[in-house]
C-alpha cells in the first residue's frame, strides 16, 4: 500500500532552533541504533519510521555501525526512504556518523580522513542518498590529530556530501578545540550528541556550558537510560528485557535496589503529572531549552506515540525540580 504522509504532521510537534544555525530539529528525534537492523522485522521498522514522520518527527539519526549487522540499519532506512519517504526528502533531516569499527585493518574505525570519507561514501550508498543533512565524528580518536578529523568534516561539507557536521561523545575540552578548528575552516560545528538522562548527568560538568556559549546545538541520546526510565523495570527485570541479556550498556548490575527505589519515586511524580515515567524523563531532559532534541529509540509504534505525547506537558515547577534532585541524590546514600 502506497504511503501518504499525514496532512497534520506538523501540528503537534515542537521544533527547536539548533544552536545559532538556521536549522530546526523536532524536540523528539528517532534513532535507529536498535530494532532497525537486518535481524529485525522490516515491516515493524517501516511502520515506526512512517508513524514517526506522521507525528512530526523529521529527524532520523543513524550511524555506519547501527544494525546488527553493522550497516543494516542504514539499508533499512534507505529502503523505507525509497519506497515511502522519497517525496518528502526535503522535509527530512537525516544524519549518520563514523567512528566505531566497520572493517578490518587500520583504516576501518576512529577518525582518520581516509576512514571518515570512505565510511560516509558507504553510508550514502546504503541509504541511496546524494548527501546527509548532518554527519558526525562519532567518537574522539586519541591517536589521530583532531585537526585531521575536523578537516575531513570540513571537506565533506564542501564536497556536498553533508550539509552540517557534528560530534558525539567528545569531552568539554575537546569540544572547545573542535569548535575552534571548524570555525577557522569556515564550517561551524552544528551539534553535539552526548548521552544525557536523569541517571547520567556528565554533560552538566561543563559540556552544556561550552555548547551554549558557542551556539552549538545539543541532541541527547539514551535520555531514557536504555529503558531504565520507563515502566519496564519498575517491578524488577523482565525476562525479555535488554537488561536480562548480556550487554555492555545495560545489565543486571546497573539495576541496583537503590536505582529501583529511585525510578519508582520518579514514577510516582510522573503519575501525579499525568505522565508515564518515559514522558517525565524526556520532559526533564528538554527542560530549560539547553537541549535541542531528545533522541529516542523504539521497538514498536506505541512507544513513539507515547514519547511524542511528552510535548503535551514540558513545564516543571521549582518544587518539582527540587524534589527530583532530592530523589536523585539518594542513589549513593545509606
pTM as predicted = 0.94
Residue 8 grid coordinates: 497534520
Q: Please state which CATH number belongs to domain 15-225+288-312.
A: 3.20.20.100
Is residue 100 a contact partner of residue 63, using CB atoms and an 8 Å limit? yes
In the chain, domain spans: 15-225+288-312
Show the cell assigned to 82.
525509497
Q: What is the pLDDT along the chain (334 residues), one digit of tens a residue?
A: 899 999 999 999 999 999 999 999 999 999 999 999 999 999 999 999 999 999 999 999 999 999 999 999 999 999 999 999 999 999 999 999 999 999 999 999 999 999 999 999 999 999 999 999 999 999 999 999 999 999 999 999 999 999 999 999 999 999 999 999 999 999 999 999 999 999 999 999 999 999 999 999 999 999 999 999 999 888 876 655 555 555 555 556 668 899 999 999 999 999 999 999 999 999 999 999 999 999 999 999 999 999 999 999 999 999 999 999 999 996 444 3
| Cβ atoms of residues 62 and 49 within 8 Å | no
The string of DSSP codes covering 197-254 is BTTB-GGGTTHHHHHHHTT-EEEEE-TTGGGTTSGGGTTS--TTSGGGS--SSS-GGG
∠ Cα 206 194 312 (to 5°): 100
How many whole angstroms separate alpha carbon 75 and alpha carbon 123?
A: 9
Amino acid at each position: 500500500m502506497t504511503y501518504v504522509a499525514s496532512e497534520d504532521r506538523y501540528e503537534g510537534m515542537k521544533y527547536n532552533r539548533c544552536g545559532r544555525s538556521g536549522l530546526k530539529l523536532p524536540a523528539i528525534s528517532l534513532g535507529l541504533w536498535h530494532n532497525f537492523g537486518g535481524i529485525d522485522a522490516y515491516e515493524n521498522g517501516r511502520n515506526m519510521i512512517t508513524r514517526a514522520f506522521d507525528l512530526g518527527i523529521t529527524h532520523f539519526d543513524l550511524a555506519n555501525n547501527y544494525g546488527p549487522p553493522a550497516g543494516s540499519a542504514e539499508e533499512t532506512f534507505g529502503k523505507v526512504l525509497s519506497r515511502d519517504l522519497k517525496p518528502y526528502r526535503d522535509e527530512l533531516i537525516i544524519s549518520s556518523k563514523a567512528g566505531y569499527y566497520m572493517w578490518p585493518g587500520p583504516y576501518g574505525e576512529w577518525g582518520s580522513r581516509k576512514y571518515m570519507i570512505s565510511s560516509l561514501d558507504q553510508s550514502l550508498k546504503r541509504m541511496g542518498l546524494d548527501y546527509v543533512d548532518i554527519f558526525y565524528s562519532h567518537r574522539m580518536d586519541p591517536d589521530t590529530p583532531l585537526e585531521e578529523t575536523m578537516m575531513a568534516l570540513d571537506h565533506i561539507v564542501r564536497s556536498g556530501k553533508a550539509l552540517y557536521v557534528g560530534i558525539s561523545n567528545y569531552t568539554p575540552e575537546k569540544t572547545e578545540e573542535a569548535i575552534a578548528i571548524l570555525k577557522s575552516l569556515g564550517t561551524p560545528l552544528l551539534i553535539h550528541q552526548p548521552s544525557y538522562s536523569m541517571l547520567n548527568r556528565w554533560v552538566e560538568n561543563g559540556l552544556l556550558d561550552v555548547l551554549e556559549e558557542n551556539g552549538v546545538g545539543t541532541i541527547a541520546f539514551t535520555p531514557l537510560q536504555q529503558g531504565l526510565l520507563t515502566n519496564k523495570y519498575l517491578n524488577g527485570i523482565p525476562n525479555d528485557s535488554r537488561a536480562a541479556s548480556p550487554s555492555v550498556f545495560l545489565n543486571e548490575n546497573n539495576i541496583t535496589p537503590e536505582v529501583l527505589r529511585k525510578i519508582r519515586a520518579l514514577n510516582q511524580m510522573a503519575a501525579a503529572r499525568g505522565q508515564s515515567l518515559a514522558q517525565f524523563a524526556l520532559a526533564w531532559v528538554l527542560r530549560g531549552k539547553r537541549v535541542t532534541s531528545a533522541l529516542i529509540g523504539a521497538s514498536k509504534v506505541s512507544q513513539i506515540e507515547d514519547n511524542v505525547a511528552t510535548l503535551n506537558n514540558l513545564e516543571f515547577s521549582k518544587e518539582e525540580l527540587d524534589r527530583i534532585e532530592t530523589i536523585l541524590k539518594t542513589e549513593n546514600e545509606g
